[in-house]
């Protein structure tokens, strides 16, 4: 980016998991990058993603508050549910994500994802925990997976979802735990890249669309797989109206 756009040295503020697309913020100075990092550590940011999942995701806001344990050797995370209220499992870290269906075509759904915490693969593993994994997520969808609330749905990369969405829309979020050391539970560590993928694999249907801070907001367009489409000549209306 420095070479292509003639910019001064850039400083990464956060990172995206491998195969995740969307908004990525760089600062033009170390001082500004540090300011961003302090806001992240203080949980002052909000971030939003859109995901295309298998099945008819339920209406209304769905919250997953379940520990996430990342296995660095396997390059994947698991959800761990505590045995009682307020009893966190020692091997996992507390993680919370809020979800809301934007639209569905009866086989797949476009879902708005708002991570409250920032753990490796948090959104992906929380969606799987709910029973609605990202449709092309080969790491978290097994061949015999049967999604909830869908009839005869199978996982196909070429499947199209019809729903009404703007070609560009906002995204935001807050991520905690930013460190520049390698923390296997931190989604912001620039040095950490989850393993287990072939280099030629296509990107996930998970896209960061907006970051919002105390006095700023950055956003990027929705991806092609979440844009306006048709099913049997019918346009699908979104459950969640686009934000202005």
Question: At 129, which CATH number?
Answer: 3.30.2350.10
pLDDT in tens, 3-37: 777 777 889 888 888 899 999 999 989 999 999 98
Q: Copy the structure tokens of residue 209.
A: 């669309």
Is the residue at 240 inside a domain?
Answer: no
Q: Which domain holds residue 156?
A: 8-84+91-226
Is the residue at 243 inside a domain?
Answer: no
Considering only CA atoms, which of 62, 52, 207 is closest in space to residue 130? 62
pLDDT in tens, 150-189: 333 333 333 344 444 433 333 333 333 333 343 444 444 4
Is the residue at 244 inside a domain?
Answer: no
Is the residue at 59 inside a domain?
Answer: yes
Would you say 178 and 186 are in contact if contact means Cβ atoms under 8 Å apart?
yes
CA angle 195, 197, 198 (to 5 degrees): 135
Among the ranges given (33-37, 59-63, 69-73), the one the predictor scored with the smallest mean pLDDT: 69-73
Is the residue at 99 inside a domain?
Answer: yes
Q: How far apart are the first and last CA of the chain?
A: 29
Amino acid 115: pLDDT: 96
pTM: 0.70
Q: What is the total residue count of the chain?
A: 244
Provide the 3-class DSSP secondary structure of residue 27: strand
pLDDT range class, residue 227, cuts 50, 70, 90:
low
pLDDT range class, residue 122, cuts 50, 70, 90:
very high
Say how many domains are in the chain. Answer: 1
Is the residue at 100 inside a domain?
Answer: yes
Active site residue ranges: 17
Is the residue at 107 inside a domain?
Answer: yes
Is the residue at 161 inside a domain?
Answer: yes
């Amino acid at each position: 980016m420095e070479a292509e756009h003639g910019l001064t040295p850039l400083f990464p503020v956060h990172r995206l998991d491998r195969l995740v697309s969307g908004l990525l913020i760089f600062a033009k100075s170390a001082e500004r990058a540090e300011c961003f990092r302090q806001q992240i550590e203080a949980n002052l940011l909000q971030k939003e993603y859109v995901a295309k999942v298998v099945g008819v995701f339920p209406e209304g806001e769905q919250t997953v508050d379940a520990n996430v344990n990342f296995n660095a050797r396997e390059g994947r995370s698991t959800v761990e549910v505590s045995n009682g209220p307020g009893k966190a499992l020692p091997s996992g870290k507390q993680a919370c994500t809020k979800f809301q269906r934007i639209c569905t075509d009866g086989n797949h759904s476009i879902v708005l994802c708002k991570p409250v915490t920032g753990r490796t693969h948090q959104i992906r593993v929380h969606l799987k925990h709910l029973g609605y994994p990202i449709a092309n997520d080969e790491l978290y969808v097994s061949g015999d997976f049967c999604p909830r609330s869908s009839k005869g749905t199978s996982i196909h990369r070429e499947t199209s979802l019809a729903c009404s969405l703007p070609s560009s829309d906002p995204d935001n979020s807050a991520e905690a735990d930013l460190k520049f050391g390698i923390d296997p539970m931190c989604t912001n560590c620039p040095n950490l890249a989850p393993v287990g993928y072939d280099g030629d694999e296509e990107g996930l249907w998970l896209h960061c669309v907006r970051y919002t801070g105390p006095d700023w907001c950055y956003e990027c367009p929705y991806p092609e797989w979440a844009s306006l489409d048709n099913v049997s000549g019918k346009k699908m209306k979104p459950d969640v109206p686009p934000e202005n």
